[in-house]
Structure 1
Amino acid sequence: MTLTPDLPAGVPAVRLKGRYIAPDGTPLSGTVSFAPPSVLTLPESDIISTTAAKVTLDGTGYFEVDLIPTDAPGMSPARWSYQVTEKLKGTPPRVFHIMLPGGTGTVDLADIAPVSPYAGNYLPVAGPQGAKGDKGDPGDVTLAQLDALEARVAPRPQEFTQSTPSSQWTIAHTLPYRPAVVVYDVSGNEIGGSVEYTDPTTVTIRFSYAETGSAVLH
């Protein structure tokens, strides 16, 4: 079981757990991160949080983590959500947002994570299967309609290419949230850079040296 260190005394917490497996039951490996707003303050506990919590799946594809509730008293900002980034071996990264109200005990990520209506190659396990319901009438939804639905529920990643060497990349996007950013050089290797969220629709990446390559915003 993977469990992060305990939160400081006096800081409220919600325990979040989850397990990832392939359709054949094989446990998946990788990391899941939970990012609050860039600066989160809890004056009553004299705490400032400025980074994401990251967990590594254990040998069974399982994790547990204690996180600050999204509605903790006196917290600033008062209304926000966690940006969840899944990086699992053999699957493309996935980004979505969740709320974790206090007083909810232990929460299973499979119960609150959004699910694509028809795509995906891994399975978050929630627990025992319930009773089988009655068979519904056949539907007439087309693949194009499903694609449109998925685009509204979970916006598709956006790609950016920097063909001219530069130590600063400025990227405009249309995602309705602060995106996670993965940067690659021209050979396809992931590289690091300082990511700044200039405004709600612009991301700036700074490097020590002029770079060319690409970025994917999730």
Structure 2
Amino acid sequence: MTDRSLIVFDVNETLLDISILEPLFADIFAAPGRMREWFAQLILYSEALSLAGPYVPFGKLGGGVLRMLGQIHGVAVTDDHVRQLGALMTDMPVHADVAVGLAVLKDAGFSIVTLTNSPNSSGPDVLDRAGLGSMFDQRFTVDTVQRFKPTPATYQLVQDTMKATPDTTWLIAAHTWDTIGAQAFGWKAALVTRGVNAPLVLDGIPQPTLVARDVGEVARAIAARR
């Protein structure tokens, strides 16, 4: 059983920089904004599959959504485009602020894990190659329960395995749909905006416990609350 407060990190966009995908989308569509459109649709359909029942790995779903966008916009998406996207999705760089933020949380005595929609890598992943793998006590993937976030089973997986208590567990994520899911499950949540995201301010919708621009800022704010 963990006797320390638990920090659960989302990975894609929160820790990893998805902007590396932009040149591929610019090459395919020759129009601005297509990568963000693709990512939003990828999340939409991951959630739709989790509600409906079928499951395919996140990367495979990403390729399917890319082909769908090609049909929507009348652009030919080739097998090579899909292969390039898959390769990039498994090799996105770590944001520059992540290492400092992780060190702050470790120094403050938190246990740190990840929970990602992406399957585990068969070998060292980008966090390992960046020298950050040892900062995490464990790394979780929704592939284990075959449901995508924010399905409660994904958060339950972490809570059960880590034997954590909801009131001492934080999710840090760059996506409001993820913070809503974690807070509905009983966790605290911090939204990392990275200059492109924001809370959904509506009556009855749980608002993030903290909002910060990057991982360093949110880590310092959480550590200050101890």
Q: TM-score range by the shorter chain?
A: under 0.3
| TM-score, normalization by structure 1 | 0.27
User: Structure 1 or 2: larger strand share?
Assistant: 1
> Normalized per residue, which structure has more helix?
2
Query: TM-score, normalised on structure 2?
Result: 0.27
Question: Looking at CA atoms only, which structure, 1 or 2, has the larger radius of gyration?
Answer: 1
Indicate the structure whose relative CO is greater, using CA pairs within 8 Å and at least 6 residues apart: 2
